[in-house]
Chain A
Amino acid sequence: MSGEEVVSVDRDSEAIVRAILKMAEDRANAIRKEAEKRAKEIIESARKEAEEILRSRRERAEREMREEIARKRSAAEVEANQIILMTKSELLREFFRKVHEKLASIADGQEPGWNYEEILTKYSLEGAKILGEKEIFLMGREKDRSLLEKVAKKLEKEGIKASVDERTVPVIGGVVVRDGKDERRYYNTFDGRLRAYREAKEIEIIGRLFEGV
């Protein structure tokens, strides 16, 4: 091999080496570039996932907050209704307590404008008529015994034989009329009348007590 030939072979070898290294560098650069691209995709995907997580958590928190607000509002409305209902109930109790008190006062003869004896006479007559008996017994409070004796005498003038029963009844006032054999009774007491009245008219009374408020 001549000297010129040796120089030529060295140059070819260097060219081959450079080419091999160049190819390797290119490949290395491509690998790095591909990795960076993939890394960007991974980060981008993670950011999207994070946004979705945050959006979902925010929506859930807002929904829970709205539900909590609705629960609190509803509980407050229930409490408000209870306050109103309890007040009405208390005032209605107070009202009927006063009615009861007044009826008791009338029965004790302490109310001007009311004649308890006349009331007992009227109630006893009603009872006698309803029972259709000519002989009746009157039952009332222990403290009404003397009044009932007077009533019995009045009834006799109406052609009804009336006696005062030995037994008494625990009532505010009024009378229980019974037949001779005590098979039938007619209750004309203040308590019964008040009970019947309340059953029939309580709603109307509520309306009148609280109308316009």
Chain B
Amino acid sequence: MEAEKEAAKIIQEAEEEAKRIIEEAEEEAKRIVEEAKNAPVEVSVMENVEKEVAEIVHRAKVKAEELRKVASERINSLVDEVVREVLEGEWGGSS
């Protein structure tokens, strides 16, 4: 009877230890999953988008300046031509 009690105690202790091992594993599993949920995610950005965006706008400003320069060179002669066309062309008259 003593041996059976001792055997039962050994098994019970083993079962309790097993339960503790599983519970610890489950706790560790929860921690691993939570860590994955909250860990910072690094994304490698190949393009420097801010620089590219600034470059697009800068190019437009440069082009706008070029437009001003070219147009101001052409405006005066074109004004004379257009004034002549307006006054002498077939644009007038509505009744």
Q: Which residues of A contact B (CB under 8 A)?
A: 16-17, 20-21, 23-25, 27-29, 31-32, 34-36, 38-40, 42-43, 45-47, 49-51, 53-54, 57-58, 61-62, 65, 68-69, 72-73, 75-77, 79-81, 83-84, 86-88, 91, 94-95, 98-99, 102-103, 106, 114, 119, 123, 126-127, 130-131, 174, 184-190, 192-194, 196-197, 200-201, 205, 208-210, 212-213
Taking CB atoms, residues of chain B closer than 8 Å to A103 are 83, 86-87
State in angstroms the CA–CA spacing of A192 and B95 once bound together.
11
Taking CB atoms, residues of chain B closer than 8 Å to A189 are 92
Checking B6, B37, B50, B75 against A95 with a beta-carbon cut-off of 8 angstroms, the contacting residue is B75
The residue on A at minimum CB distance from B82 is A99
Q: Which label, helix, strand, loop or mixed, suits the secondary structure of the A interface?
A: helix
**Chain B: number of interface residues, binned into ranges:** 35 or more
Asked if B25 and A42 sit within 8 Å, CB to CB, the answer is: yes
Checking B32, B79, B80, B83 against A43 with a beta-carbon cut-off of 8 angstroms, the contacting residue is B32
State in angstroms the CA–CA spacing of A58 and B71 once bound together.
51
Taking CB atoms, residues of chain A closer than 8 Å to B25 are 38-40, 42-43
Asked if A36 and B63 sit within 8 Å, CB to CB, the answer is: no
Asked if A209 and B75 sit within 8 Å, CB to CB, the answer is: yes
